[in-house]
Structure 1
Amino acid sequence: MRIWLSRPHMSGRELDYVHQAFDSNFIAPMGPQLDQFQAVVAEYLGDNTHCVALSSGSAALHLALRICGAGAGDEVWVSSMTFAGGVFPILYENATPVFVDLSPDHWTIDPDLLAEALAEANRNNRLPKAIIPTDLYGQSCDLARLEPLAEKYGVKLIVDSAESLGAAYADGRKCGTGGDASILSFNGNKIITTSGGGMLCTKDKKLAEQAIFFATQARDSAPHYQHSTYGYNYRMSNISAAIGLGQMEVLDQRVARRREIFQNYQQRLNVPGVGFMPEPDGWHSSHWLSVITIDPRICGITREDVRLVLLEKEIESRPLWKPMHLQPLFTGTRYIGEGFDTGLFDTGLCLPSGSDMTEDEQDEVIERILVELR
């Protein structure tokens, strides 16, 4: 049987909520389950957070960028190592992405590089419209450094927390509460899923109201269909939200299991040449995916050698995100950094991390890797 990288893991309660939605006949996008799902996530996040459930994390990011006014002639600085859906919305608004390297200390956007680049941009009167740091593989960005920087220069901070629901920042706040807005993803391979979908989270009630307006085709308040601007069909369906309600009941359990899986990998793959994503003291990663690095100079094999061997044995693994500044689409795009993220891409491998993975399955993954390393 195939061992998957990260597959959906149902709680058993999802169908109860879906049946409630069917019984109420709220099958169309709006409905009580959608309202309840937003309220449950907002309560979980705390910090007076307003939540807007949407069709995807990319949709949430797109709305956040539009509301903050990003457009033609504007730069948006973003983590280079991220999923493409965390960058494409910049193009939707005709803004220009600028890619930023990661910190070796935590593998998220490097605040030292940002501080230096923002100071220079300020001197040249070329500050970005927004900064989008990614909470990579469940690891929170250094929010304590990023929020003061954004405030100092008057730059919007939109945190891509698509991979980190259930994680926490060093100050104890939950991922999804940072910056001017944060975005979440409920894609099928995330810690919890609504089959697809995402969420925009913000402490700014007006921003949340604008997001709902644009996400529902920007319909003016009138008895007829009237539009003063354009919008999108971005709202999450009531049925998807019903699934999310069942998933939220087990979120903390899912995070605890993934952390346990990571710790097991860390203990048993503690061999020369193998490294792990660091988790600084006081930080609390969800470890959505367990990530290792393989140094071919020490191990004698590459991460691609290991990936292919695992694939032959029906074990799914994958390289880290290919940095955006290396993508053909973004050839020639400005990049701030020295290539730490490039090195991670060359040596990094995401291992099976699903919360439904059995101990026997993890034993098999570990033994297959150890055989190749010996």
Structure 2
Amino acid sequence: MAFRRRAKSHPLFSQEFLIHNHADIGFCLVLSVLIALMFEVTAKTAFLFILPQYNISVPTADGELVQYHYGLKDLVTILFYIFIAIILHAVVQEYALDKINRRLHLSKVKHSKFNESGQLVAFHFTSVIWCLYVVVTEGYIANPRSLWENYPHVYLPFQVKFFYLCQLAYWLHALPELYFQKVRKEEIPRQLRCIALYLVHIAGAYLLNLTRLGLILLLLQYLAEFFFHMARLVYFTDENNEKLFNVWAVVFVVTRLFTLTLYILVIGFGLPRVENQALDPERGNFFSFLFNNILFRMSVLLLVCLFQASVMWRFIHFQLRRWREYWNEQSSRKRAAAGTKQQAKPLKRDSGYHENGVVKAENGTSPRTKKLKSP
């Protein structure tokens, strides 16, 4: 991390220098923005990086409420929090994961997967707690009708917008981390697909004004992912311990059912009942006008169902492969145990012991030979 002593120095602005010092470079950039807050000339520009923009005062019965909507200036804020995510990524890697890896002595493949799961466990755990706090304080769980009432939800509370900006920043920071962490070429396509899916869904919920539904869906998704990556960490430390995979399987199935139910409830039944369905771009209800079209609504639901079906198919395939490996391992252990018992079975010997080719009795005397009768 910043200002730590290194065993080996690299040429300035070289590839190795950038890889080994990317967190320190990001720390310097963040620090320069924070220093800019101290001066009146640069403070206004620095606030563009730190605080969400496009705030508006909405009159309420108790006074005025400050809310936000999205715009191009959000890209500047996302860029600042990308550097924050890079710094936190390096902190978790150096002060937690690297120390554990030194004790486990994992192979290169397991070492890479352990680092990936360790980073995602920290992120998913933080996101689940944060997302749960937001949906509870905003009343989205207590009042499910709020997921589609007064749609489009153009104006967002501060914590909702800030949550979405941080989520976009984290998944965008994962792209350069593929280079900084020297991820193997075989793993890059899979991780790119995962990052792209998260970015498309989060940005889609943010831009389509479906932020309330997106919060609930992210909570369910991150909860299932947390148990999966936690189970992988436990498995890497003890390969005989697979109990958390069973917990993850149950949580995964439950979250898929809740996800599909929420999609049908909100898109299929909730949004078509929204008032003021006439097209009014100034009010921002272009998407509510689209969701009132039954063809568009059914197309969205069909895509959602197909995507969830593909996810469930991959899950079932993974479970079948895991169970097949488990039963093959159990059968091989039984065969090995049976072979060991046969080898350990004692041979039947005559009473006494052998000495110079003659069987001796227990008292040391030779057994009496039987006399043959003469013909």
Q: Same fold (TM over 0.5)?
A: no
Q: How high is the TM-score relative to the length of structure 2?
A: 0.24
TM-score (norm 1): 0.24
- The structure with the greater share of residues assigned to strand is 1
